[in-house]
Chain A
Amino acid sequence: MPLSLDAFGRMLDETGLPLTDAQKSVLFDAYPMFQAMLARATAPLPREAEPAVVFDPDVR
């Protein structure tokens, strides 16, 4: 769902990044593309599906 500029600004504030209004605007313009990417890349997987990097005590 599209975010309002105000809601996006609140989300940015939580990151602690000191951004100018112009920088916020650039990120805001690109955010829908990023949101779509997040939605596509985190499709449901079986509960037991492991991440590509798992702890292996033999590695080190």
Chain B
Amino acid sequence: MTEPYFLTIAQASALIRVRKLSPVELTEACLARVKRLDGRLNSHLLLLEEQALADAAQAEAEIAAGDWKGPLHGIPIGLKDIFNTAGIPTTAHSALFKEHVPAEDAFTVSLLRDAGAVITSKLATWEFAIGGSSFDLPWPPARNPWEVSLDPSGSSSGSAVAVAAGLCLGAMGSDTGGSIRGPAAWCGIAGLKPTYGLLSRRGILPLSFSLDHAGPMCWTSEDCALMLQALACHDPADSGSASVPVTDYSAGIGAGLSGLRVGVVRHFFEADLLTDPETIAALEASVAALADMGAVTTDVRLSPFGTYIDVGSLIARSESYAIHQHWLRTTPELYGAFARHRLMAGAFVTAADYINALRERTRLIAELAEVMRTVDVVIFPTARCPARPIGEDSMASGFQPFFNRAFNVTGSPALSICNGFSDTGLPLSLQIGGRPFEEALVLQVGHALERAMGTRARRPVVS
């Protein structure tokens, strides 16, 4: 039998529901694995052992009494440490917030608790979700479980590492410029950035008001659908929250793809940004697998990827500077160098530059909408290359490892999945983008491709 910590949420939930798996034993297995491995992975800032075991025991009692709350009941879940937790430090991995203890849970965290999830941990992040894999913070940066000398990417680094290594079964991440999908790609898991506004941002430390998205990070697309079901909920206290009907996000899991129209944004990886041949080969194999499943693939064109980088960066820099300006002026020494430099760059963006970036964003949204009239989903790689050595990141390098900005700028849903492995055994990745609020279709395609590419049986061996 699969070790409990390597079960998917769907598998564990099915066993828990019929009382063949104890939430307490499952939680204990994950906690033990954290203690055994996280000294090398650095994915955890805080392990909530006592509370997690109490919550698991409560879940077990509730289920035994016939009160099963749903697929997350009794499932160990970790939180990126920018999600507020009542009475528990929420540090943003920063000296500036080292003593920050919120009074309330983030809305999404309260929804997870309502669904019976067992919150096990506060997980590593790039500082304030922007800094980079930094060595000048109160905690070390998380490391890639496939090879600990490599970067897991970020900013939801701890979330991706913990899920891939079997330290929890699912995790929450946030995505302003790719911070769910990037680490999902380099750590070989599934990560969903939902449509802007589908998940509440209330109680999540903000980075960029109009680009911030919360989302699930899991081993499979199916698990992302299960988490999304518990998380998608209108929040009247979040001014960006969408009031839309909640659908069954698992409805398409296991369904066929016959007749599905798939657009391949080929110029992103063939012309706009130089992309690793193994990544392109895995994408072509995925295109072939989609055709075998009856999908109709065609090439589509959007604006050059660089346009999304520029527009997204200017908006993000402006909005994040507005948030951090006071602290940058008064206590700059409490930031790590990466975060400080990246945030300070926002000081150079004028109001006119910001507004013009927002105007260009309108054009990009309209352009994508027009393309999405001709296809049901679009695909392209998530990462241009497999994971790179940790510590390579620098302010001036300008290297963009990911094709992520586009769907932050447009606000539409995008899922990263693992669609293969490099010759050196590192995960390769594919991104599936959809129309606003069509997460169910995006997850359906992700699940079908994970099955077709056969990538979900292989876990990292932490050395």
Inter-chain contact A51/B395, CB cutoff 8 Å:
no
Inter-chain contact B360/A27, CB cutoff 8 Å:
no
Inter-chain contact B396/A29, CB cutoff 8 Å:
yes
- In the assembled complex, which residues on chain A have CB atoms less than 8 Å from the CB atom of B355? 51
Closest to A15 in B: B347
The complex places the Cα of A45 from the Cα of B210 at a distance, in Å, of: 21
CB distance from A21 to the nearest CB of B (A): 14
The complex places the Cα of A22 from the Cα of B345 at a distance, in Å, of: 15
- Tell me if B311 is interfacial: C-beta within 8 Å of chain A: yes
Inter-chain contact A41/B239, CB cutoff 8 Å:
no
Chain B positions 311 through 331: 1 when the CB is less than 8 Å from some CB of chain A, otherwise 0: 101100000000000001100
Chain B positions 345 through 386: 1 when the CB is less than 8 Å from some CB of chain A, otherwise 0: 101110011011111111101000000000000000000000
Inter-chain contact B329/A59, CB cutoff 8 Å:
no
Inter-chain contact B347/A41, CB cutoff 8 Å:
no
Inter-chain contact A34/B345, CB cutoff 8 Å:
yes
- Tell me if A57 is interfacial: C-beta within 8 Å of chain B: no
- In the assembled complex, which residues on chain A have CB atoms less than 8 Å from the CB atom of B361? 51-52
- Tell me if A33 is interfacial: C-beta within 8 Å of chain B: yes
- Tell me if A17 is interfacial: C-beta within 8 Å of chain B: yes
CB distance from A2 to the nearest CB of B (A): 14
- Tell me if B306 is interfacial: C-beta within 8 Å of chain A: yes
Inter-chain contact A17/B356, CB cutoff 8 Å:
no
Query: Most chain-A CB neighbours within 10 Å: which of B329, B348, B398?
Result: B348
CB distance from A28 to the nearest CB of B (A): 10
Residue among A11, A52, A53, A60 making CB contact with B348, cutoff 8 Å: A11
Inter-chain contact B362/A50, CB cutoff 8 Å:
yes
Question: What is the total number of residues of chain B having a CB less than 8 Å from a CB of chain A?
Answer: 35
- Tell me if A1 is interfacial: C-beta within 8 Å of chain B: no
Instruction: Report how many A-B pairs have Cβ atoms within 8 Å.
Output: 90
- Tell me if B114 is interfacial: C-beta within 8 Å of chain A: no
From known contacts A19-B332, A29-B396, infer whether A40 and B310 are also in contact, taking CB-CB under 8 Å. Answer: yes
Interface residues of A in 32-60 (CB under 8 A from B): 33-34, 37-38, 40-43, 45, 49-53, 59-60
A30-B396, A38-B349, A50-B362 are known contacts; what are 19 more A-B pairs with Cβ within 8 Å?
Answer: A15-B348, A17-B332, A17-B347, A19-B332, A23-B337, A23-B344, A27-B344, A27-B345, A30-B395, A33-B396, A38-B353, A41-B360, A42-B360, A43-B360, A50-B359, A51-B355, A52-B362, A52-B365, A59-B239
10 A-B contact pairs sorted by A residue (CB < 8 Å)? A16-B329, A27-B345, A37-B313, A41-B313, A41-B314, A45-B356, A45-B359, A49-B362, A52-B210, A53-B210
Residue numbers of B with Cβ under 8 A of A are: 210, 239, 306-307, 309-311, 313-314, 328-329, 332, 337, 340-341, 344-345, 347-349, 352-353, 355-363, 365, 395-396, 398
Residue numbers of A with Cβ under 8 A of B are: 11-12, 15-19, 23, 26-27, 29-31, 33-34, 37-38, 40-43, 45, 49-53, 59-60
